[in-house]
Amino acid sequence: MTKNLYSASVVAMAAVGLAVAIPASLSCPASAAGLPARSTTAASGVQLPNVASVDQRLLIPAYFYPVQGSPWATLAAQGPKSSAGYVIADISGTGPGTSVNTDYTAAITAAEGAGWTVVGYVDTDYGARTAARVETEIGNWSSLYGVHDIFLDRADNTSAHVGYAAALTSYVRGLHAGAQTFLNMGAPPDAGYLSSTVCDGIVVFESPQSVFQSTPPVDYSGHGVSIGHIITGATGAAMPSQLAASKGLGADLIYITDEPDSLYSGLPTYFAAENAATAATAAAPTFTSAATATLTVGKPGTATITASGAMTIVASGTLPAGVTFVDNGNATATLAGTPAQGSAGSYPLTLTARNDSGSVTQAYTLTVTLTASQPPAFTSQPTATFAVGNAGSFTVRTSGSPVAGLALTGTLPVGITFADNGDGTATLTGTPASGTAGSYPLTVAATNPAGRVTQGLTLVVQQAPVITSAATMTVRARRWSTLTIRTSGYPTPTVTLAGSLPAGLTFQDNGNGTGTLAGTASSRARGVYTLTATASNSVGSVRQDITLTVR
């Protein structure tokens, strides 16, 4: 949408004391800014029937700043009268900006509370903006404002950018399950865009009512994507017939305003009547997805349920253990999860889709099947670590179908036990007793009907270091002397000695938990020396002051 409205937003923002930088690209209409021309050729070969029962929903360009008393307040007071309604928000002129605007946070929250779905505006410049740049703004809508549905403005309508649009739609859906992407072309799309893998909706007409009357758009309904018309310069008297005309051409997204072309500085003067009129066009929802789905025991899976025009979808009946049902709030619902062992079978459900015009039910069958047997395999690490005197646990994990039974051979340290949990896992747990520090080689066997496999498991019991040698030592001058600092702990501690040594003596860590002070002290070295011994391992370290006397 060419947004000459930006100056109106600036006036509103200035009124509340906000400094505004006006992007040059928004200071004039697109046609005057040297933007690439869009094709106006209809998609080849598209000959589709009208959809008389289409549920029309408002798609409102809310390009006005949410000052007190602004049209945002009207939206918060008047929710959509149809099955749904969309409000397009633009904060920076090209999207959400890079920091939170609390005025918009409040406006978005209020609009959503009234039942509107807020859609984030992002400019594509007919594909000239890189996908990475557009994706950054899409992500900012989600992270800054919790807005997941996206309106891609100035979308190219030629075949050159079908892949570009599809990639952005995939990105939107990847950020948030069920999120929708709308393309604004304002012109006939290439047939490649008319696919739910490329987008969820396309605005194919954005012009004054006089253009609609002289050159009405083609009916593009029936391809699984929503079709939108935005008509400007229409009087209140003409609004009902214009709504019907767009409906007759399959437009389920609609916005009619008495403002001039592409201004969008406020709501139409007849907004309440237009909102109410869309409710009159609504039809009861219709299930469009299959009535059956299949999941497999022990494997994650999903099944998507769709119902056109639905405000809510609910399920009644018993679900298999491990599977949940979620209404996504966008005319879809999801069955998802990992069916538990023993849940194989058939689960009859009743689905009900509702909107303001009525409800419809569907008999639905969810089938949970067993997989072919698969031999077990270990998925956990082959080393478990405990510490003397500290409670701990380690889980042995396996894959395979059906789940494997687990058994242990080898000697466990006192205080540690092994238990098969009966679900393909087993647990080593307990508190190693004093004196059990060391390494324990074990073997775990996993067995199911498809086979047996073993894994070597090393259980390491660690112990913090302790210095066990005396804190006082004596040597005689002019005689060869050897003194040993001894420690305990696991892993074997390293030993260091700090302080000034008597002349003639040296210290060495022996690498086995001991250190040696050795040599011949000179006669001038007689005296008392204070040294500090430190023993360290992966569990911790300990120090001991040592008094060394040279006589």
- The DSSP bridge pattern shows strands 181-184 and 149-153 to be parallel
Q: Identify which has the larger pLDDT, 485 or 28.
A: 485
Return the CA Rg of the chain.
37
Give the residue from 356, 355, 397 showing the smallest Cα distance to 379.
397
pLDDT the model gives residue 46: 28
Question: Where in the chain are the domains?
Answer: 6-281, 286-369, 374-463, 468-550
Q: Identify which has the larger pLDDT, 546 or 19.
A: 546
In degrees, rounded to 5, the angle at the alpha carbon of residue 400 between the alpha carbons of residues 397 and 404 is: 65
pLDDT the model gives residue 285: 86
Residue 330 confidence class, pLDDT cut points 50, 70, 90:
confident
Backbone phi, then psi, for 158, in 5-degree steps? -95, 165
The CATH number of 6-281, from 3.40.720, 3.20.20, 3.40.50, 1.10.357, is 3.20.20
Distance CA 197, CA 204 (A): 18
pLDDT the model gives residue 113: 95
Residue 311 confidence class, pLDDT cut points 50, 70, 90:
confident
- For domain 286-369, give the fold: Immunoglobulin-like (2.60.40)
Share of the chain above pLDDT 90, in %: 75
pLDDT over 80 (residue 4): no
Whether residue 528 contacts residue 549, with contact meaning beta carbons closer than 8 Å, is answered with yes
Residue 138 confidence class, pLDDT cut points 50, 70, 90:
very high
H-only helix segments in 217-376: 239-248, 271-281
List, in sequence order, every residue forming a beta bridge with 364; answer none if it has no partner.
349
Share of the chain above pLDDT 70, in %: 89
Retrieve residue 222's tokens.
């029936």
Query: What pLDDT digit, counting tens, does each position of 515-532 carry?
Result: 999 999 999 999 999 999
The packing angle between helices 131-145 and 162-175, to 10°, is 30
pLDDT over 80 (residue 48): no
Domain 6-281 and domain 374-463, same fold? Reply is: no
pLDDT over 70 (residue 20): no
Residue 242 confidence class, pLDDT cut points 50, 70, 90:
very high
Provide the CA 489 distance to its chain's centre, in angstroms.
46
Retrieve residue 211's tokens.
């253009």
Provide the CA 201 distance to its chain's centre, in angstroms.
23
pLDDT over 60 (residue 149): yes
Look over the chain and give the mean of its residue pLDDT values, rounded to a whole number. 87
pLDDT the model gives residue 16: 28
Residue type, 376: P
Retrieve residue 309's tokens.
């025009």
List, in sequence order, every residue forming a beta bridge with 59; answer none if it has no partner.
86
Mean pLDDT of 195-206: 95
Whether residue 271 contacts residue 257, with contact meaning beta carbons closer than 8 Å, is answered with no
Whether residue 398 contacts residue 420, with contact meaning beta carbons closer than 8 Å, is answered with no
Query: What pLDDT digit, counting tens, does each position of 283-295 carry?
Result: 678 999 999 999 9
Backbone phi, then psi, for 105, in 5-degree steps? -55, -45
Residue 455 confidence class, pLDDT cut points 50, 70, 90:
very high
Q: Identify which has the larger pLDDT, 373 or 485.
A: 485
SS3 64: coil
Other beta carbons within 10 angstroms of residue 527's beta carbon come to: 12
Superfamily per CATH, domain 468-550: Immunoglobulins (2.60.40.10)
Query: What pLDDT digit, counting tens, does each position of 26-44 carry?
Result: 222 332 222 223 333 333 2
Instruction: Find the helix or strand (DSSP H, E) in which 324 lies.
Output: strand 323-327
pLDDT over 70 (residue 164): yes
pLDDT the model gives residue 450: 84
pLDDT the model gives residue 45: 30
CATH number of 374-463: 2.60.40.10
Distance CA 256, CA 253 (A): 10
Q: Identify which has the larger pLDDT, 415 or 47.
A: 415
Distance CA 45, CA 237 (A): 36
Whether residue 543 contacts residue 469, with contact meaning beta carbons closer than 8 Å, is answered with no
Mean pLDDT of 369-375: 77
